[in-house]
Amino acid sequence: MGQAFSHALHVAVHDLRVERSGRCVLSAVSFELGGGQALWLRGPNGAGKSTILRVLAGFLPYQGGRIDLTVDEPHDCARDAIHFLGYQDALKSTLSLRENLSFWATLLSRSDEEGTCEERVSMALRTVGLHHLAMLLAGYLSAGQKKRMALARLLVTQRPIWLMDEPSLTLDQEAHDLLVGMMSAHRARGGMIIFASHTPLGLADVHHYDLRSGVKNHDD
């Protein structure tokens, strides 16, 4: 599903320095990643994994170093090339699942998306196994189901860069396999994933960056 992403996709972070509330939380962070690759951010709690993801997404400013994000057209700027999956699910409990997804599908998509909005929403709901609850109000879902809805959001529009903060949290085994499948498929299309997690999630061929020591390694 979905066309392949551009070969020009590239992220380069040089000597990044981030301060919050006057305190230096990240320093000398450097890594590079290309299309089709996945980077696993590892480190203890508080090491700054979430901070890096938020800086890459453009939600936080940085005080030193450089971030080079190369995306090919039709993305005019970095921010519409990114999907962000954080702790929160961005679900409105008084809207139905379909209404929630349709909103993000309309707002986050470009004019050249394949398929109509309804088709993409239905496909996403089917992929995460929530299609039979499409008309249900989101407030009735369990935590695991809400996380699946957040994953569905990643499927309604095609964006090359996925930034994911602890994506496997609250997922059961079946949903975990779904997540891994989605991430593998995204990489196969040439997309890039940077994720923070305590485990490599069972993905193969993953680069990892250790936030304690600032060392980047590659697992084969």
Partner 1 sequence: MMKDVSVALPVRMWRVVTGYANPTRFLGLCDVLVPWCASLSALLIALGLYLTFFVAPADYQQGESVRIMYLHVPAAWLSLMIYAVMAVSALGTLVWRHPLADAAQKAAAPLGAAFTFVCLATGSLWGKPMWGTWWVWDARLTSVLVLFLLYLGLIAIWHTLEDQAQAAKAAGVMTLVGVINLPIIKFSVEWWNTLHQPASVFRMGGPTIYASMLWPLLIMAVGASFLFVTLHLMSIRNEILRRRVARMALMMAQG
Partner 2 sequence: MMTEQLAALFLRDWRLAQRLGGGASLGVMFFLILVTMIPFAVGPDQLILARIGAAVLWIAALLAGLLGLDRLFQLDQDDGSLDLLRLCDLPLEIMILTKCAAHWCATGLPLVVSAPIFGLMLGLEPQQIFAVTLSLFVGTPALTALGAIGAAVTLGVRRGGLLMAVLILPFTIPILIFGVSTSTALADGMMAVHIPLTILCGLSLLSFVVAPFAAAAAVRHMGE
Task: Enumerate binding residues for partner 1 (CB under 8 A).
Answer: 93, 133, 136-137, 139-142, 145
Sheet holding 10-20: strands in order across? 23-34, 10-20, 64-70
Closest separation in Å from C-beta 181 to partner 1: 21
Rounded CA-CA distance 81/75 in Å is 6
- Which of partner 2, partner 1, none binds 25 (CB below 5-8 Å, type-dependent)? none
- Which of partner 1, partner 2, none binds 82 (CB below 5-8 Å, type-dependent)? partner 2
Query: If you count DSSP H runs as helices and E runs as strands, how many of each does the chain have, helices first?
Result: 5, 9
Nearer of residues 137 and 178 to partner 1, judged by Cβ: 137
Nearer of residues 146 and 153 to partner 1, judged by Cβ: 146
Rounded CA-CA distance 134/138 in Å is 9
Closest separation in Å from C-beta 63 to partner 2: 11
Closest separation in Å from C-beta 56 to partner 2: 12
Closest separation in Å from C-beta 106 to partner 1: 25
Closest separation in Å from C-beta 173 to partner 2: 25
- Which of partner 1, partner 2, none binds 22 (CB below 5-8 Å, type-dependent)? none
Strands (E), 106-180: 161-165
Strands (E), the chain: 10-20, 23-34, 38-42, 64-70, 82-85, 161-165, 192-196, 207-210, 215-218
In the complex, which residues of this chain contact partner 2 (CB under 8 A)? 20, 57-61, 76-77, 79-80, 82-84, 86-92, 94-95, 99, 102-104, 106-108, 110-111
Rounded CA-CA distance 147/12 in Å is 29
Nearer of residues 61 and 220 to partner 2, judged by Cβ: 61
Answer yes or no: are the C-beta atoms of 41 and 217 closer than 8 Å: no
Nearer of residues 88 and 213 to partner 2, judged by Cβ: 88
